[in-house]
Amino acid sequence: VGSGKEINLATGDVYDFEYVDDNRYRMHNLRIDDLFIGDSAPEPTGTVTGPTAASPMDGGWIWQDPGYETKLEVTDGQVKMTVPHGKCAGVYCDNSPVLMHKVSGDFDLQTTALLEGPNDRWVEMDFILYAPDSFIGSNSKQETEDSLLTHTRMVGAGWSRVWGRSMLKNMNQSFQYGGKEIPDKPVLLKLTRRGDLFRSYWSLDNGTTWNLATHEQIAVPETLYTGWLSIYGGDYPGDPAQSTLTLANINLTSAPLNSLPNPDWDYVYRQGVAIGSGNSIGLKLDGSALGDVTAYRSEVLPGDFEIIAYFRAEPWQHQQGQGRGFSLLAETIDGNKVAYVGAFQNDFNKYQFQTNFNIGSVPRGSWQKMEGAGFSGRLKLSRVGSVIHAYVELDGEWVLIDNGYADQVSEPVMVGVQVFNNQESTTPSAVKTNFTIEQITGVSEIKASATETGEQPAAEEEASVPQEQPSVESKAPESDGEEETVEESATLTFSDDFSQTSPAWKVVSGAQNGQVVRGNGVMGFTITQPGKYLSAEVPWGFDDPVQDVSLAMKVKVETPNLGAFGLFCRVKDSKNFNMVMIQTNAQGSGFYRFSKGKEGKTIYLTEWKQSNAFYGGEIEEQIEFDCIGDTLTLKANGKLLDEVVDSDINSGRAIVYAVSYDKVTAANPFKVMVDDFRTEAIMH
């Protein structure tokens, strides 16, 4: 029989055949004209919103419903699917309704979803990828090769109403044994593609925080189709006869492959709070419930690697029933294999470092422990070939802590950090740890916190040259770029006694004018050029701006009358900041002044004021500078000196600085020593 013909097998009669006029459900319970095949021709990049009409479907959207049993309603870009019982996807069925759109390159697909139906049936919705002739469905064992969905891959995220609960998926947890139980309210869902990495997320606070649900490396063509399917399946006939899936605020944004930015961190909030930017992250459990919070870097390490992380944990006092700790992770992309090193404490083990290797949450390696040596330090994981090793830094030396893992790991991994209070514990406890990823090799170098003298400033900061009376011009160090505001708020503490395990302070200005040396219990500023600044940023373990901040430190000015020192708070950039400047005098006639920068103009909030609190020389002063609400306060040796009101700037970074006068030379430098630095802040 030739093309365009059909034959009656009983009689042998041959007829002309027009498939567009054929109303019989010949393939997978679909009319041939409705069987979507698709193609691999590139799709223009840009932004697509949801459809505005259902029949026919517009905006490039594709609707396929085997059996034509699902009621589809489209109103003002909102799609509502009323799905009857018996619509499912998997190795036993392939008749779920599908809504999808063609896309090329990187993309973000986002919607506000509401899934309604019983919790004791199989009611589910999921993101999908469809690539013609790819067999991604059958190759992943989701479908059989003769299935309608053999070229369709379910991402495994979305929303599921099963086992008596309405659940969203968490990374590395199944719907049945983990995830987030939620009420019947709309949820923001998102699927992203970056190269061959696909991540899915959900948000319960309108996009302020996104929880990582899945993270997979999937080999698919640059051009494919993406969207959703809806399921109401299982062996549960009877009432209720249908479920509904409503998708609103649909947005599909695409760009050339590998061009859209990756997030600095992805978060899994089973409990707690995570706030991070750049290479730094803070994780916190408040002790109200058992759980953990994990953050993952976006880099993927395909081969040999070395990961070094600085940690500073808030010290805790163990109580009966508690079990808590923190870890640095190297985890395969599918989450199945995890190597970790960190510290923990419970009823059976005092505070100590530990390492292990898990496959599918089951420990497989040689679990090793080593007595802990404090709540700050460095951790390292490395891989050579397929062998991962774990290290802890002690007294400036790396100590191998593992005893050789039983399993090798050749798959690509991602980097993560975690705090937990749910291991061998019955009582919740508080855990708060700040991490800075100082080094990742194996993919591309990450810019770590600068060493004391290693980083050049973004721009040279000049100072006017005072003589007998201080008259130094106020400037903030240049920022390396725009600040990214993190919507969540958290109260953070940081202290530094400038021991060898202290984090490196980032020199943000004046590295060529002298040096900042940290060690022997102090951080020393030495300026060898006249009329120059030298400044270092407080290494919170975060790059995000802080709001209310209290800064305290002991200061010894070894060469009084040769310069001044001070503190910046709420530094948005080099043009907008609050600050205080202090000049000491060996005779006790020092000076101070409050000022601010506003759009590049220096505004003095006070005149220079004299105080006999600032001596210099061998005398060590206790200085406190608070920026709380709209009030700036200066204290010396526990006594209030002055306070001013300014409401122009509400958040930013914190910086310690020194500035030299014109009598300074290389042979006669200005020297300031800082000790016992403490700060508390609200970050948002």
Dihedral Cα 402, 407, 413, 418, nearest 10 deg: -50
CB 157 within 8 A of CB 213: yes
Distances (CA, A) of 333 to 198, 346, 414, 583, 601: 10, 30, 6, 55, 49
CATH 2.60.120.560 maps onto the chain at 490-683
Does 90 score more than 70 pLDDT?
yes
Report how far apart, in Å, the C-alpha atoms of 81 and of each of 170, 230, 244, 473 are: 25, 8, 5, 66
Sign, CA torsion 18/21/25/31: positive
With contact defined as beta carbons under 8 Å apart, do 229 and 65 qualify? Answer: no
Q: What is the mean pLDDT of residues 648-676?
A: 90
Residue in 119, 139, 121 with CA at minimum distance from that of residue 131: 139
pLDDT of 447: 30
Q: What pLDDT, on a 0 to 100 scale, did the predictor assign at position 456?
A: 26
Average pLDDT rounded to a whole number, residues 48-58: 90
- CA 415, 376, 677, 465 dihedral sign is negative
Give the least confident one: 106-115, 377-386, 437-446: 437-446
Task: Spell out the residues 6+ positions from residue 606 whose beta carbon is closer than 8 angstroms to its own.
Answer: 593, 594, 595, 642, 644
* Contact partners, residue 528, CB within 8 Å, separation at least 6: 513, 514, 664, 665, 666, 669
- pLDDT-derived band at 405 (thresholds 50, 70, 90) equals low
What are residue 611's DSSP bridge partners?
590
% helix / strand / coil in the chain, to the nearest 5?
Answer: 0, 50, 45
Asked if 268 and 212 touch (Cβ cutoff 8 Å), the reply is yes
Residue 276: closest CA among 551, 540, 652, 651 = 540
Q: Which helix (H) or strand (E) holds 296?
A: strand 292-301
On the 0-12 / 13-18 / 19+ scale of CB atoms within 10 A, 667 is: exposed
Residues 254-290: tens digit of each pLDDT:
999 999 989 889 999 888 888 887 788 999 999 999 9
pLDDT of residue 235: 56
Look up residue 652 and give its DSSP letter. B
CB atoms within 10 A of CB 163: 12
Q: Please indicate whether residue 428 or residue 502 has the higher confidence score (pLDDT).
A: 428
Which residues, in sequence order, are CB contacts of 553 under 8 Å at separation 6+? Answer: 622, 623, 656, 674, 675, 676, 677, 678
Question: Are residues 277 and 486 in contact, defined by beta-carbon separation less than 8 angstroms?
Answer: yes
Name the DSSP class of 20.
G
pLDDT in tens, 337-365: 888 999 999 998 889 898 887 776 555 55
Q: What tokens were used for 528?
A: 């060898």
Tokens of 343: 């510290």
Residues of the chain with CATH 2.60.120.200: 39-255, 271-441
The string of DSSP letters for 116-182 reads ES-SSSEEEEEEEEE-TT--HHHHTTSS-TTSTTTTEEE-S-SEEEETTEEEE--TT--TTTSSEE-
Whole-angstrom Cα distance, residue 208 to residue 188? 10
Q: What are the C-alpha distances in Å from 384 to residues 301, 308, 405, 463, 664? A: 12, 15, 13, 50, 51
Phi, psi (rounded to 5 degrees) for 314? -70, 120
Distances (CA, A) of 449 to 308, 310, 393, 439, 542: 12, 10, 17, 9, 11
**Does domain 271-441 fall into CATH 1.20.1050.10?**
no
pLDDT tens, position by position, 164-185? 788 898 886 654 556 788 888 9
Give the torsion sign (CA, 214, 216, 220, 223): positive
Chain segment 284-336, per-residue pLDDT in tens: 999 999 999 999 998 899 999 999 999 999 999 999 999 999 999 999 988 88
Give the model's pLDDT for residue 484.
35
> What is the sign, positive or negative, of the torsion defined by CA atoms of 494, 645, 584, 619?
negative
Instruction: Give the pLDDT mean for 225-238.
Output: 81
Superfamily for domain range 490-683: Exo-inulinase; domain 1 (2.60.120.560)
Tell which CATH classification among 3.30.365.10, 2.60.120.200, 3.40.50.300, 3.40.50.920 matches the domain 39-255: 2.60.120.200
DSSP, res 675: E
